[in-house]
Amino acid sequence: MQHLAGKVAFVTGAASGIGLGIAEALAQAGVKVMMADIEADALAAQVARLAATNADVAGIRADVSLKAELRRAADATIERFGKVHILVNNAGVGGGGSYGEWNDAAWDWVIGVNLMSVVWGIEIFGPLMEAHGEGGHIVSTASMAGLVAAVAPGYNVTKYGVVALSEGLRPTLAARGIGVSVLCPGFIRTRIMESARALPERLADKVALPDPTAVPSEFAVMAAQAIANGIDPLYVGELVVEAIEGDWPYIFTDNEFEGGVDLRFAAIKAGFDKIRGRVPRR
């Protein structure tokens, strides 16, 4: 989508981190932005900060793991800005626990926020973008964990899902004038390690959160350090703006995990090599 100035975007998880960086970069490009987040106070503060720069932004509190709240947020976007051209399905949470730790509520939480909100976002906003005939673009935030299953199981599963959904819908929606990109960030300097703060009230006491007094795993220590020293979220936002303008299928933030993707594909190729030349019995 060319000529972003004057267009309207809806961004989820916009009160912090990558979503905030994307909202800010879009606003700097002259896009009007409806910022959605479950955290009302942080959202109000960031909307006020961006509005003070003369950006045309507004905020709506919404738990995107609830379809009705996402629909209400879409209605509010149309009411405030008249139409919508860009959907950024970005809200996401880490956690959910590993083998032996997870329970059904933890899977519900991670799948609801990281994956179902993306399904519903596309379902709700797609027709709104088609209706005005000016074209649209959808960016959904997956992760490098959407290409290499290197994080917690629930996180990997949902992020692979976001990659699959984006890849699969790209040709379908292109025919309807809507571009589709999947954002696969590496380590970005955000509050993702504090995702428990955004646990919806209805799931409180049902999801087993990590014990803050327990010794963190080696992986958790490494990840926390890498994120603390991670890439600037506003830089990611600027990449997203460039990707929308250029209709990139994949948006990577850096090359740190490119080797991991190569290794995965080599392992898949090795699986094919094992049966190469055999004639399957039918």
Ligand X SMILES: NC(=O)c1ccc[n+]([C@@H]2O[C@H](COP(=O)([O-])OP(=O)(O)OC[C@H]3O[C@@H](n4cnc5c(N)ncnc54)[C@H](O)[C@@H]3O)[C@@H](O)[C@H]2O)c1
Q: Which residues bind ligand X (CB under 6 A)?
A: 12-13, 15-19, 37-39, 62-65, 90-93, 113, 141, 143, 185, 187-188, 190-192, 195, 198, 200, 227, 230
- Give whichever of 130 and 235 is closer to ligand X, judged by the CB atom: 235
Instruction: Record the tokens describing residue 195, joined without a space.
Output: 């995702």
Q: Which is nearer to ligand X, 58 or 177 (CB)?
A: 58
Q: In what order do the strands lie in the sheet with 57-61?
A: 57-61, 32-37, 8-12, 86-89, 136-141, 178-184, 250-252
CA nearest neighbour of 115 among 90, 98, 139, 137: 90
Cβ atoms within 10 Å of 232's Cβ, excluding its own: 12
Nearest Cα neighbor of 75 from 14, 22, 13, 128 is: 128
DSSP bridge pairs for 88: 11, 139
Residues in the chain: 282
For the four alpha carbons of 26, 82, 37 and 156, in that order, the dihedral sign comes to negative
Please provide residue 272's backbone torsions phi and psi, each rounded to the nearest 5 degrees: -65, -40
Beta bridge partners of 251: 183
**Shortest Cβ distance from residue 173 to ligand X (Å)?**
20
Residue 265 C-beta: closest distance to ligand X, Å:
20
Please, which residue, 81 or 156, has the CB nearer to ligand X? 156
Set 99, 155, 160, 235: catalytic member: 155
**Which CB, 78 or 224, lies closer to ligand X?**
224
Residue (181 or 195) nearer to ligand X, CB: 195
- CA dist 36 and 70 (Å) reads 9
Closer by beta carbon to ligand X, 17 or else 154: 17
Distance CA 219, CA 145 (A): 14
99 is catalytic: no
Q: How far is the CB of 142 from ligand X (least distance, A)?
A: 7
Least CB distance from residue 276 to ligand X, whole Å?
Answer: 35
Residue spans of beta strands (DSSP E) within 20-150: 32-37, 57-61, 86-89, 136-141
| Catalytic annotation, residues | 155
